Amino acid sequence: MQAGFTLYLRWAERFSWSARRSAEGSFRARGATTLALLATLGLSLPALAHDAASPIDGDAITIDTSGASSGWSFHFDVSGEGGIGLGHDPSTDGFSLLVRGTGSNAGRTSLIDLDSSLWSATTGPAGFAYTDATGSRGGVTAATLLNGALQHPERIGEPVSLTVNFAGPVQLGAFDLEAVPLRTNRSTQHWLLLQKQDGEVVTSATAFFATRRETWSEQQHEMPAAPAADSLPQLVRSERNWFRNYDFRYVSGLFDPSRSDSTEDADSETLLWTRDNPARPLDFASLTALGDVFAPRIFHRRQRFTPAGTVSLTHYFHADTEQLARAGDRHVLGHARATRMHNNYSDQVAHLWSDDGQLLLTTTQVAYFKE
């Protein structure tokens, strides 16, 4: 099935170096296909002297280049292959992958960094297992919990605040969601929200809902000056699965772990336009997820991946349903920064504005990091 292999190589070249070429659809190849899997331990790509290389014969490759380039993907299946002897603990030493074709005109993927915190020891011959359940992050989990109250038949009003505590990782599989209205007053309502797996709480939240009445209003935190979203290029990111769910257009404070120098940024600030990818009209669930769209501030400050994750976040909703409807599916402007990183924990303060300058959300969070 050499033709299938050739298709893979052409796709890899186009994906890595020539995104200007048009997509050509989906292909699937079976047979004698060989890829080289390079395990790099904390080293830049050219420094291969200390890398471990393990060729693997694959059973099947599925290549999908239909639609926009941000959605291109490949899936590589292998069976009957023994464990790859790493000789290192990837949860502490770090681990990256490079998939490349063999033969003439062979292409390759970019270097794929694997999150050290997602490795776990196994009893099998492989020694370690890497699990990135869905690519979702805290914002998606928070939106799921908020929806428990939004869809509850006893709900009154609209969300004003939401606090979420991430007690443990959400694993692949089913979960139970409990939404309990703790107290309902004439125009306010307090909620307890619990996400459980195997009978244990993995995420807890409290939410405050209210029926808003028209009063005197003022916005004191104005939107920062920024070029229009359409004037900025979309940054297609693949370092983490959840990056693909959003359209990023950076104004400043780009996190770029692939840059050749090792210079750290002087601060942790980011200013960007963003929205769901594919675009969808803004509502409370999507606004909740967008409030956690920013990568951990330690990534930006150090300009590299490090084990990190949100422990607790609080959203303050300034917008009502009508304001969200006016925002439509257009980009929102987000600004985020940390105030201090100290002894494994960092805060983050962020804001989201609609493109007409209305402040939609203020959010704060505390995140764990290992550095």
Neighbours of 58 (CB within 10 A): 21
What is the distance between the alpha carbons of residues 322 and 83, in angstroms, rounded to a whole number? 56
Residues 6 or more apart whose CB falls under 8 angstroms from that of 49 comprise: none
Q: Which runs of E-coded beta strand occur in the chain?
A: 25-40, 52-65, 73-77, 95-101, 112-114, 119-121, 128-130, 158-166, 176-184, 188-197, 200-210, 246-252, 270-276, 308-317, 332-337, 341-342, 345-353, 359-369
The domains of the chain are located at: 2-130, 138-369
Tokens 């050509």 correspond to 24
Backbone φ, ψ for residue 365 (5° rounding): -155, 160
Average confidence (pLDDT) over 231-249: 82
Q: Under a CB-based contact definition with an 8 Å cutoff, are residues 249 and 233 in contact?
A: yes
Tokens 């770090």 correspond to 94
Q: Which pTM does this prediction carry? A: 0.66
Q: Is residue 203 predicted with pLDDT exceeding 80?
A: yes
Q: Under a CB-based contact definition with an 8 Å cutoff, are residues 351 and 221 in contact?
A: yes
Average confidence (pLDDT) over 205-233: 96
Q: Under a CB-based contact definition with an 8 Å cutoff, are residues 229 and 249 in contact?
A: yes
Q: What is the pLDDT of residues 100-109, one digit of tens each?
A: 665 655 566 5
**Tokens standing for residue 67:** 């639609």
* Architecture in CATH for domain 138-369: Beta Barrel (2.40)
Q: What is the pLDDT of residues 33-78, one digit of tens each?
A: 333 333 333 322 333 333 444 445 555 555 555 554 444 555 555 5
Tokens 């409030």 correspond to 291
**Tokens standing for residue 129:** 């297992």
Amino acid 298: pLDDT: 87
Amino acid 356: pLDDT: 96
Least confident of 7-16, 233-242, 325-334: 7-16
